[in-house]
Structure 1
Amino acid sequence: MNVLVIGANGQVGQNIVNLLHDSEQHSVKAMVRKEEQAAELSNRGIESVVASLEDTVEEIISAMNSSDAVIFAAGSGGSTGSDKTLLVDLDGAVKTMEAAEKLGIKRYVMLSALQAHNREKWNEALLPYYAAKHYADKNLEASSLDYTIVRPGGLLNEAGTGQVAIAENLERGSVPREDVAKVIVAVLSIDHSIRRSFDLISGDKSIETAISSI
């Protein structure tokens, strides 16, 4: 499967790209915003394309062309304002869904946020971010795409354990970015994860076992 990773230069995105690059099952194209990022990827033998989520749908279609699946792992980042959150995490995400539908790409995996579907559980310090994720996910659910929405808890920069908890609703918790990336890559080829969404934190089950329970 030829997989386009949107947000490939982000911390989770980099993990996803590395896993797909090493995979015997998939190939990867990394979507990045800067030429120097593309050059670094090219030096490692990784295909890339330079595009922005603030581009038009037609420009995103050009970047997405020849892909069989899309992973959305992009975000405006904690240093930007609510305007960028709206333009990237919400409108940018929706534009990629529209592009995938126009190209006839069915498989789409969304990196969301823990309890984004449940307003009563949103982190008070990140309300614009959660609102953007909530409505991006809603749009994805209403689309024709074969989606999976992965909603991880607090993201950690430590080595993955391969042990996770997956469920429709989980209490606050954290999870290494490496494990989030492994779950996202794993669900790509698991048909029973299609049109499903779930929370994800560290737990006591292997990734394979946890995914099989959704």
Structure 2
Amino acid sequence: MKILVIGAHGRVGQRIVNQLNDNGDDVLAGLRDEKQFNTFTGAHITPTLLDIQQITVADLTQLMTGADAVVFSAGAGGGGYDRTMLIDLDGAVKAMQATEQAGIKRFIMVSAMGTGSRATWADAIRPYYAAKFYADHWLINDTNLAYTILRPSTLSDEAGTGKITVNAQDKLEDGAKTVSRDDVAKAAVVALHDDKTIKQIISFTGGDTAIETAVDSLG
């Protein structure tokens, strides 16, 4: 399987790229700066220049043509709310438009737990949640893509356990468990290869169920 990862230099994106490589998939690692190309050494990884904030839909379509799937894991990462709108929202929509124009069906979106309910958005980062909300809304309602939306809880850099708990309520409550970025990446890889996740929103925390089992129980 040939997969374009948009946001490949992010802390989740890097893990997705490396885990796909370990899985034997061919990976186009979308990076916004050529200086980042030496981040990856895997045999199945091809770094490619992709600044999602600046690229046109036409150029992005050309870049991804021939891929089997797209993973969107880009984000402004606290770089200001202007960039959040241009990357987390407009960048995501550009990626969806290009994916459809390239004739690709499979699309994995890395979103955030609680995105679906305005009542639970933290005041300090409401613009972030708004960007995620409308990007997810576009994916669900304005495309014909075979999507999976991943909504992890608060992320940590702890070593992955390979286990999660699916949260059907999609509510990020005080005291909710964090989830390792390793495990978010694994969830993306597992979901990508399991058609039961198509048209599914998967909200999850760290937990006690093997990711493969949790994902396979959907649908």
Structure 2 unaligned segments of length 5 or more: list them.
Answer: none
Partner of 2:21: 21
Conservation of the 8 A alpha-carbon contact between 2:18 and 2:42: no
TM-score for both structures, normalised by structure 2: 0.92
Bigger shift: 62-71 or 96-105? 62-71
When normalised by structure 1's length, the TM-score is: 0.94
Q: Which residue of 1 aligns with 2:115?
A: 116
**What is the DSSP-based 3-state SS (H/G/I as helix, E as strand, rest coil) of the residue aligned with 2:205?**
strand
RMSD: 1.2
Say whether 1:199 aligns with 2:203. Answer: yes
Deviation, 1:124, is 1.8
* Larger CA deviation: 86-95 vs 31-40: 31-40
Choose which of 181, 184, 197 in structure 2 pairs with 1:180. 184
List aligned pairs for 1:1-214, cutoff 5 A. 1-24=1-24, 26-41=25-40, 43-45=41-43, 46-54=45-53, 55-78=55-78, 80-142=79-141, 143-172=143-172, 173=176, 174-214=178-218
Give the distance between the partners of 2:104 and 2:73, measured in 1 at CA.
17
What number of residue pairs does the alignment pair up? 211
Unaligned runs of 5+ in 1: none
Counterpart amino acid of residue 77 in structure 1? G
Cα deviation code 1:144-190 (max 9, x no counterpart): 00000000010000101112111332443310000000000000111
Give, as a single letter, the amino acid of the residue that structure 2 aligns with 1:81. G
Give me the identity figure in percent. Answer: 45
Deviating 4+ runs (over 4 angstroms): none
Amino acid at match of 2:37: A
Q: State the shift of 1:59 in Å.
A: 1.6
